[in-house]
């Protein structure tokens, strides 16, 4: 059977099994928004926990943060987002479909530089108009290109009714870290180099949100910002790149599905930028996470715009300087999607085709599922519930399933990635005396079953 799923297979499984639902679906949907269902939120939280462990608890001198989403409007001027955070947009004159011109150009092999002016991108687009058709109506009749700012505005605290004093939603989560750099230095006195870490929401008015969670208008970013002495960036940058690559492998991503991409056209804040790309089904290799050498750009800008001295004072030499920043920024939705895609497998087991998610146990929504062999035998159900409750009490996230026959339950648990299924049968109750208090434990990936004593279940599940 084919082991190369299409993106639509992943999206269908995500919906069918309660991982991801389209946002506001009963109203016809809201483009670029998604809701994580009961299984999705477990995978999402496990993913964020694993990321946090690797980037805070397993490191030294890394500090967590959870900054407010709304920030002083000047923050986005200082960061460069009110001016430089835009995508080139053109509109089909026949059907009004909007396209991202840089993407449309890239699809025909023409590269548009992020820093191009509106004039320059119009020249580039004009030279290729005959090769770019509307994806909806196929017409080759687009408006002039305009740079469209991606920041999302709110009216928080703006009582003018005209929206003259917009407070923006975060265009990138990392600004909260720069705003609190001084607080962290003043209150915790970390020695440089040190890191500050946050998982926070970001909002972008993406011109054409698409490809499931890949390009959304609301998403989360898992960011680390590492503050280093000026010019002491190179070695640390290489180490950070290595650590991030290995983190994906440690949680089961197959290495052949990852690759590096160095940016030639750097965004306005970056001195060097590398992406870890993932080979997404249907889409091919595309950005999963960005690793950026931001030099002193951010703190210099905030120092200038806020008028607050953001220099770090070396505790031994009293030397003062603006630290340089090395950033890792991963879309949590893109990570979620990559882990889901990588885990998606199809095979044949016992002569039947099946789909399963080979998720690392620490990411799976449930560590285990407990079944009574038969739903209509109260003694089996009572024992199954006893085992289920004891695992829950031991702090294991476990499901109880007595719907349909055992085969159906296995299929359901396979598709949500539950590593082991535990069945309570008549032997558990003592029908075969030497097997009393033992259960069958079935492995998700191999389908192999063995008998395990209930007292050993916790150790077995891990
Ligand atoms: N602070 C740096 C920054 O925001 P970025 O490359 O724009 O850099 C970082 O974004 C990561 O955020 C990307 O690698 C991607 O995983 C994720 N991301 C960006 N735009 C996204 C979108 N529209 N939908 C989902 N994830 C997105």
Q: 98 and 90 in contact (C-beta within 8 Å)?
A: yes
Mean predicted confidence (pLDDT) in 154-177: 90
Predicted local distance difference test score (pLDDT) of residue 3: 60
Q: Cα–Cα distance between 311 and 414 in angstroms, integer?
A: 53
Distance of CA 216 from the midpoint of ligand 1 (Å): 10
Position in ligand 1 atom list of the atom nearest CA 206: 23
Q: What is the pLDDT of residues 313-362, one digit of tens each?
A: 999 999 999 999 999 999 999 999 999 999 999 999 989 999 999 999 99
At residue 1, does pLDDT exceed 90?
no
Q: Whose CA is nearest to atom 17 of ligand 1?
A: 331
| Encoded tokens for 223 | 């960011």
Q: Cα–Cα distance between 81 and 173 in angstroms, integer?
A: 12
At residue 27, does pLDDT exceed 90?
yes
Quick check: bond before 193 cis, omega within 30? yes
Q: Whose CA is nearest to atom 18 of ligand 1?
A: 331
Q: 249 and 240 in contact (C-beta within 8 Å)?
A: no
Query: In 3D, which of 218, 83, 70, 81 has the Cα closest to residue 158?
Result: 70
From first CA to last CA, the distance across the chain in angstroms is 31
Q: Give, to the nearest 10 degrees, the angle between helix 175-188 and helix 297-306.
A: 80
Question: For the whole model, what pTM was predicted?
Answer: 0.95
Q: Cα–Cα distance between 237 and 225 in angstroms, integer?
A: 11
pLDDT tier for residue 264 given thresholds of 50, 70 and 90: confident
HEC profile of 130-184: HHCCCCCCCCCCECCCEEEECCCEECCCCCCCCCCCCEECCCCCCHHHHHHHHHH
Distance of CA 62 from the midpoint of ligand 1 (Å): 22
Query: In 3D, which of 360, 359, 339, 356 has the Cα closest to residue 348?
Result: 356
User: Maximum CA pair distance of the chain?
Assistant: 84
Q: Whose CA is nearest to atom 25 of ligand 1?
A: 215
């Amino acid at each position: 059977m084919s082991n190369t799923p299409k993106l639509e297979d992943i999206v269908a499984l995500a919906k069918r099994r309660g991982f991801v639902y389209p946002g506001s679906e009963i109203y016809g949907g809201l483009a670029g928004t998604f809701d994580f269902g009961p299984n999705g939120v477990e995978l999402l939280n496990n993913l964020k926990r694993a990321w946090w462990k690797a980037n805070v608890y397993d490191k030294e001198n890394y500090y967590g943060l959870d900054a407010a989403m709304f920030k002083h409007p000047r923050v986005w001027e200082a960061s460069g987002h009110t001016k430089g955070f835009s995508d080139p947009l053109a509109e089909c004159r026949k059907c009004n479909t909007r396209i991202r011109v840089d993407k449309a150009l890239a699809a025909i092999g023409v590269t548009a530089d992020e820093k191009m002016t509106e004039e320059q991108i119009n020249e580039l687009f004009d030279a290729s108009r005959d090769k770019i058709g509307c994806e909806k109506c196929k017409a080759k009749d687009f408006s002039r290109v305009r740079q469209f700012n991606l920041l999302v505005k709110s009216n928080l605290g703006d009582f003018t009714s005209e929206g003259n004093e917009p407070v923006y939603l975060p265009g990138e989560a990392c600004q909260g870290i720069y705003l609190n750099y001084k607080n962290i230095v003043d209150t915790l006195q970390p020695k440089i180099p040190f890191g500050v870490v946050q998982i926070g929401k970001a909002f972008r008015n993406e011109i054409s949100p698409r490809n499931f969670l890949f390009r959304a208008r609301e998403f989360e970013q898992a960011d680390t910002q590492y503050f280093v002495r000026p010019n002491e960036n190179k070695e640390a940058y290489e180490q950070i790149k290595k650590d991030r690559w290995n983190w994906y492998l440690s949680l089961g991503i197959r290495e052949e599905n990852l690759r590096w991409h160095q940016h030639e056209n750097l965004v306005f804040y970056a001195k060097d930028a590398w992406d870890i790309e993932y080979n997404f089904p249907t889409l091919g290799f595309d950005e999963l996470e960005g690793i950026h050498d931001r030099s002193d750009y951010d703190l210099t800008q905030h120092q200038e715009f806020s008028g607050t001295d953001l220099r770090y004072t070396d505790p031994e030499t009293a030397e003062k300087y603006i630290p340089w920043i090395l950033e890792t920024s991963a879309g949590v939705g893109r990570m979620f999607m990559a882990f889901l895609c990588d885990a998606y497998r199809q095979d044949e087991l016992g002569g039947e085709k099946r789909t399963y998610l080979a998720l690392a146990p620490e990411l799976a929504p449930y560590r285990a599922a407990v079944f009574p062999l038969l739903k209509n035998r109260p003694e089996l159900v009572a024992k199954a519930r006893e085992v289920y409750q004891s695992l829950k009490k031991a702090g294991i996230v476990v499901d109880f399933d007595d719907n349909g026959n055992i085969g159906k339950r296995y299929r359901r648990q396979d598709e949500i990635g539950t590593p082991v299924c535990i069945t309570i049968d008549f032997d558990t109750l003592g029908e075969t005396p030497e097997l009393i208090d033992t259960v069958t434990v079935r492995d998700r990936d191999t389908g192999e079953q063995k008998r395990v004593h209930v007292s050993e279940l916790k150790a077995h599940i891990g």
